[in-house]
């Protein structure tokens, strides 16, 4: 059995594994895809002290750093269930898709999240070539350019307000007849001179030229007419879905949106089970934050272990 078993091999999981291994305790990492969302990222310019790097480069550096320690890395392993310890301080079980199960005295959940796609022609083709999902990450790449934000919930409206301060013009596209964001955000958005809000609009296609985004088409749902907007960037903001479906029957408390509830130490509702990164309630889904939270959850797991009476 492990002392610390980390589920997920993104920035949060890698940080948790390094911190645990440095305590000299038995550490394992099981991940469906080591590297996580970082593998899908092009340029990273907000990882402080590293002015610029690329996703695949950071992903392999994450894995290399973990491999420098005595950590049992189980890549391409998907967790499908968690069974809490039967007795206080007992072993927690994590079931894998391949039928095997792993046991550990503590578990750190860091299975991350995924952006919901609009699934229109051009989205996949121009991902990282004008189609973006993270305004904190990619906003500055569109300085002085024209962008659209798809989605009029809180994250879409926050993104539009944020981007309006950087880019030349923002078109906010909402499917419904009205925005769903908090009133205070909507008032702020309406006060900005370089933002146009289009409601009852269904995005139908993202266009490109010379390998880059050049426009977006939407259907006016009231008049069935199709309109085209010329622009250089599209931010898709229709939801970030935590990869926590596999925890539904585990007893780990999740919010209605599926985020793992954690306290300020990264502890979940189940003793010995900790969590970090995009899968949790911790706000602002960023690499630097996921790594810090992973380190914190790992130190909390160690603190939990040293308080257990030897069996
Ligand atoms: P993830 O990176 O999502 O990793 C989750 C891990 O868990 C993966 O290894 C995954 O395979 C594994 N996993 C999932 N489910 C299971 C399961 N059931 N069993 C086993 N393993 C599982 N942030 C920045 O700070 N700067 C940027 O420039 C930036 N750009 C981005 C660009 C894009 C296109 C995207 C998508 C995100 C970007 N982000 C950026 C956000 C950043 O990538 C995330 O905040 C960060 O990766 C979260 O780390 P994490 O470890 O919590 O989760």
Q: pLDDT of 196-231, one tens digit each?
A: 999 999 999 999 999 999 999 999 999 999 999 999
pLDDT at 132: 97
Cα–Cα distance measured from residue 293 to residue 242, given in angstroms and rounded to the nearest whole number? 16
Cα–Cα distance measured from residue 186 to residue 184, given in angstroms and rounded to the nearest whole number? 5
Q: What's the CA-to-centroid distance between 76 and ligand 1, angstroms? A: 15
For the whole model, what pTM was predicted?
0.94
| The two structure tokens encoding residue 239 | 């939801």
101 pLDDT above the threshold of 80: yes
pLDDT at 229: 98
Q: What is the mean pLDDT of residues 250-261?
A: 98
* Ligand 1 pocket at CB < 6 A: 7-13, 30-34, 36-38, 40-41, 44, 46, 78-79, 110-113, 115, 133-134, 137, 243, 246, 277-279, 285-288, 290
* % of residues, the chain, pLDDT over 70: 99
Q: Taken in order 79, 80, 82, 83, is the CA torsion positive or negative?
A: negative
Ligand 1 atom closest to Cα of 78?
19
pLDDT at 309: 78
Asked whether this complex has an ipTM greater than 0.95, the answer is: yes
Pocket probe for ligand 1: among 52, 243, 246, 292, the residue whose CB has the most ligand atoms within 8 Å is 243
Cα–Cα distance measured from residue 231 to residue 147, given in angstroms and rounded to the nearest whole number? 6
Backbone angles phi, psi at 177, to 5 degrees: -80, -10
Output the CA–CA distances (angstroms, integers) from residue 249 to 113, 137, 310, in the order listed.
19, 34, 29
pLDDT at 42: 86
Q: What's the CA-to-centroid distance between 11 and ligand 1, angstroms? A: 7
At 270, is the secondary structure helix, strand, or coil? coil
Q: What is the pLDDT of residues 114-145, one digit of tens each?
A: 999 999 999 999 999 999 999 999 999 999 99
Q: What's the CA-to-centroid distance between 163 and ligand 1, angstroms? A: 22
Q: What's the CA-to-centroid distance between 262 and ligand 1, angstroms? A: 18
Q: What's the CA-to-centroid distance between 186 and ligand 1, angstroms? A: 29
pLDDT at 18: 98
Going by CA atoms, what residue is nearest to atom 31 of ligand 1? 41
* % of residues, the chain, pLDDT over 90: 98
pLDDT at 202: 98
If you ran DSSP here, which 8-state letter would residue 74 be given? E
At 108, is the secondary structure helix, strand, or coil? strand
311 pLDDT above the threshold of 80: no
Going by CA atoms, what residue is nearest to atom 29 of ligand 1? 137
Q: Taken in order 277, 279, 281, 283, is the CA torsion positive or negative?
A: positive
Q: What's the CA-to-centroid distance between 24 and ligand 1, angstroms? A: 27
Q: Look at residues 205, 46, 12 and name the one whose alpha carbon lies nearest to residue 135.
A: 46
Q: What is the mean pLDDT of residues 79-92?
A: 96
At 65, is the secondary structure helix, strand, or coil? helix
- Provide the 10 A C-beta neighbour count for residue 226: 12
Q: Where are the beta strands (DSSP E) in 221-277?
A: 225-230, 233-236, 240-242, 273-275
Q: What is the mean pLDDT of residues 276-294?
A: 98
């Amino acid at each position: 059995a492990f002392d610390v078993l980390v589920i997920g091999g993104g920035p949060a999981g890698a940080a948790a594994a390094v911190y645990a291994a440095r305590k000299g305790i038995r550490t394992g990492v099981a991940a469906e895809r080591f590297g996580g969302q970082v593998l899908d990222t092009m340029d990273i310019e907000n990882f402080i002290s590293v002015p610029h790097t690329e996703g695949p480069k950071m992903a392999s550096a994450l894995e290399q750093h973990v491999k420098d320690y005595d950590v049992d890395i189980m890549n391409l392993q998907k967790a499908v269930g968690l069974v809490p310890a039967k007795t206080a301080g007992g072993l927690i079980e994590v079931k894998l898709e391949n039928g095997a199960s792993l046991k550990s005295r503590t578990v750190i959940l860091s299975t991350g999240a995924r952006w919901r796609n609009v699934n229109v022609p051009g989205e996949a083709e121009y991902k990282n070539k004008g189609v973006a999902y993270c305004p904190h990450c990619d906003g500055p790449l569109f300085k002085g350019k024209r962008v659209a934000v798809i989605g009029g919930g809180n994250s879409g409206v926050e993104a539009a307000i944020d981007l309006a301060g950087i880019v030349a013009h923002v078109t906010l596209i909402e499917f419904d007849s009205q925005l769903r964001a908090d009133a205070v955000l909507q008032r702020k958005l309406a006060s900005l001179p370089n933002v146009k809000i289009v409601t009852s609009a269904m995005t139908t296609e993202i266009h490109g030229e010379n390998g880059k985004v050049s426009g977006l088409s939407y259907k006016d749902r009231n008049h069935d007419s199709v309109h085209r907007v010329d622009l250089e960037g599209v931010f898709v903001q229709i939801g970030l879905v935590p990869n926590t479906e596999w925890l539904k029957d585990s007893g780990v408390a999740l919010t209605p949106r599926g985020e793992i509830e954690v306290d300020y130490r990264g502890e979940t509702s189940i003793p010995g089970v900790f969590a970090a990164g995009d899968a949790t309630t911790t706000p602002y889904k960023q690499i630097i934050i996921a790594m810090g939270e992973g380190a914190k959850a790992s130190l909390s797991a160690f603190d939990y272990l040293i308080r257990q009476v030897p069996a």
